[in-house]
Copies of this chain bind each other. A is one copy, B any other.
Amino acid sequence: MADRLGCVGIVGVGLIGATVGMALRQRAVAAQVVGVDIDAQAIAAAREVGALDAGGTDLSVLRAADLVIVAVPPDGVVGAAVQAAAHMKRESVLTDVASTKAEIVRALDDRLAARVHYIGGHPMAGSEGRGARMADPALLLGRPFLLTPTEHTDPAAVSVMTEVAERLGMLPVLLSPDDHDDLVAQVSHLPYLLAVAAVGAATDRAIGIGGPAFSGLGRVARSPVALWVQICRSNRAAIKRSLGQFRRELDRLERALDGEEALETLLQRSRRRAPVDGAPLDKPHESVT
């Protein structure tokens, strides 16, 4: 990759698209950032927060792009990527930011190969907010940028996106689409469903009392539902495996409450294994596949 990219295009300037756009511009990763969205107001908002140099509702703005990042909700990724590729320079790079990868990568790997270099991507960042006005480059800092090359992926796509991730202050991690979906089910999709179930199970009076741990669950449960319905459908198999593993752990804990297993041992084990905020990944640049 050159000193910096010429033009980066972003398709879909919601929370993540606009956050990436702001970071690309603030860190001078690209000479120009252009955006496309079916909603002209979203483009206006993204320009206001400084996420774009230019933008519009027409995919033709992507024709100068060296890299296009498709940042629409999961169900729209394949359609948007195919349409975007038709406007892009040959041999430019296309990625996406969806939270599930196997289904999307399977659909795009072959279809895009003749035109552009595709690699699946997933910046592990977000908030319960929506839209460009909630965009914040700080969401990206120190977070993993998961990249899911396959045997069809052009090495240029891997090297461009690895470098873009680093320049955004993120930690590029390479893994297979299936491994991605399995790991993300455990650390993102399962926690979301646990938060939804805990809030769903609580009485109104209990919710009124709150508490720090419950506030954390509440924050997660307030995430946009339309997005999560798509994630749950797309990654159903891995989520169900993760749910099964979680249920077995919960069963053990409940037996320990009844004195049949050493409660303290189970609690200590999770205390030791729990991630520490902001701790760097051990080997950010190495494939963990």
B-binding residues in A (CB < 8 A): 124-127, 143-144, 146, 173, 179, 182-184, 186-188, 190-223, 225-226, 228-229, 232-233, 236, 239-240, 242-243, 245-250, 252-254, 257-258, 263-264, 266-271, 273-277, 281-282, 288
Contacts and interface: CB of A to CB of B under 8 A. Distances in A.
Report copies per complex: 2
B236 A243 contact: no
Contacts of A184: 209, 211
17 contacts: A124-B211, A143-B210, A173-B209, A187-B214, A195-B213, A196-B266, A196-B267, A200-B270, A208-B281, A208-B282, A209-B288, A216-B216, A216-B217, A217-B274, A222-B274, A223-B271, A226-B264
Contacts of A217: 191, 194, 216, 274
Main secondary structure on A side of the interface with B: helix
B232 A213 contact: no
Given A209-B146, A263-B232, A269 B186 contact: no
Nearest to A139: B212
A197 B267 contact: no
A46 B258 CA distance: 37
A186 B223 CA distance: 21
Given A125-B212, A197-B250, A207-B274, 10 more contacts: A173-B209, A183-B205, A187-B207, A195-B213, A200-B252, A200-B273, A209-B281, A221-B271, A223-B271, A236-B257
Q: What 4 pairs across the A-B complex have the smallest Cβ distances?
A: A218-B274, A191-B213, A186-B206, A187-B214
Contacts of A269: 200
A207 B250 contact: no
Contacts of A213: 187-188, 191-192, 195, 220
B225 A126 contact: no
A243 B232 contact: no
